[in-house]
Amino acid sequence: MKVAMLAPIAWRTPPRHYGPWELVTSLLTEELVRQGVDVTLFATADSVTAAKLEAVVPAPYSEDPTVDAKVWELRHLAHLFDRAGEFDLIHNQADFPAHAFSRLVQTPVVTTIHGFSSDRILPMYAPYADRVHFVAISAADRHPALPYAATIHHGIRMEEFAFDARGSEGLLYFGRIHPDKGAAEAIAVAKACGRRLNLYGIVQDQDYFEREVKPSCDGQQIVFHGPVGGSERVRALGGARALLHLINFDEPFGLSVAEAMACGTPVIAVRRGSMAELIDDGVTGFLVNNADDAVAAVERAGQLDRQQVREEAVRRFSVARMAAEYRRLYHAIVAEGLQPGEQLPAA
């Protein structure tokens, strides 16, 4: 089977630091190649892959201000769809713009919806439900107006996340600095517990950072590190008593949740969005409703078995499992004739 994988172009695939969509695209692409699938990755020219790389976009528009996002996104899409006939299936990881091209080709299209942001994007989804196979990344993120072929949770390379049996007495915040992600709430909980908090992530909302985060960053109890990658990222994820994921929105998935658990770190999360799907309450972390619940959960986190947290992550969130589920979907579409709007039967 020949698969064209369409990556977003905001960041490199895989991203150097931030870029969750590009990261998932890379993880899936590399694992599919490892499993013997013929994949051509359409991504930015600086992308790194074991697949065949096709690139007309010179650099990610979030990293190079000379790259106009609208111009190059359209060029990127045209480059793939001009060659659609060479592939058995197109897997779109780059949101709704690709749908505008989908009726111009015969090749089946799968779109992974990396979070349904609002009803405002529905006009570029619902009219294409008879042409595109939609995949949700969590049951919580399914939109009631759309038919879905499948729900497939993200996967990560477990071998890249070393198990830390001890962690530390400190707490961890890992994600973009934005009101949605609850950095201010994490700071408040850490202060209430009298524990150190390490914050990692890009500043996505500068005003929020200056108003709600920076004043508390004293370099001692509350420490902001910025974005982090490589071995330092793994040390951060594993070296904590718990990850605080006190979100203020319906999180569609949350890669940092799976990554922390892969290192043995329990997750304390607000019971919103996909959190109840990812976290086994009282086993791999705690689901909470408010700050008082979170403070109590921090104290209980030390009672959890970090080895069991790791084992559950391995069982549920491996990249091999994710790729196998997508391969099953691809086969159903290409070989068995699964139509857009139809759901993949249970295995």
Pairwise CA distance, residues 106 & 82, whole Å: 12
Q: Does residue 237 sit within a domain?
A: yes
The count of structural domains within the chain is 2
- What range defines the domain where residue 6 resides? 2-155+318-334
Task: Say if residue 200 is in the same domain as residue 294.
Answer: yes
Would you state the structure tokens that stand for residue 267, as one six-digit string? 């997750």
Task: Say if residue 30 is in the same domain as residue 139.
Answer: yes
Q: Does residue 42 sit within a domain?
A: yes
What's the whole-model pTM score?
A: 0.93
Q: Are strands 109-113 and 38-42 parallel, antiparallel or unpaired?
A: unpaired
Task: Say if residue 16 is in the same domain as residue 95.
Answer: yes
Task: Say if residue 101 is in the same domain as residue 169.
Answer: no
Q: Does residue 343 sit within a domain?
A: no
What sign has the CA pseudo-torsion 235, 236, 240, 242?
negative
Q: Does residue 342 sit within a domain?
A: no
Q: Does residue 346 sit within a domain?
A: no
Task: Say if residue 80 is in the same domain as residue 167.
Answer: no
Around Cβ 78, how many Cβ atoms within 10 Å? 12
Q: Does residue 285 sit within a domain?
A: yes
Task: Say if residue 163 is in the same domain as residue 312.
Answer: yes
Pairwise CA distance, residues 71 & 216, whole Å: 41
Task: Say if residue 148 is in the same domain as residue 26.
Answer: yes
Predicted local distance difference test score (pLDDT) of residue 18: 85
Pairwise CA distance, residues 324 & 319, whole Å: 9
Q: Does residue 345 sit within a domain?
A: no
Q: Does residue 344 sit within a domain?
A: no
Please identify every stretch of the chain with a pLDDT value under 50, giving residue numbers as ranges. Answer: none
Task: Say if residue 163 is in the same domain as residue 268.
Answer: yes
Task: Say if residue 246 is in the same domain as residue 186.
Answer: yes
Predicted local distance difference test score (pLDDT) of residue 147: 97
Task: Say if residue 297 is in the same domain as residue 267.
Answer: yes
Task: Say if residue 196 is in the same domain as residue 145.
Answer: no
| CATH number for the domain that contains residue 174 | 3.40.50.2000
Task: Say if residue 167 is in the same domain as residue 288.
Answer: yes
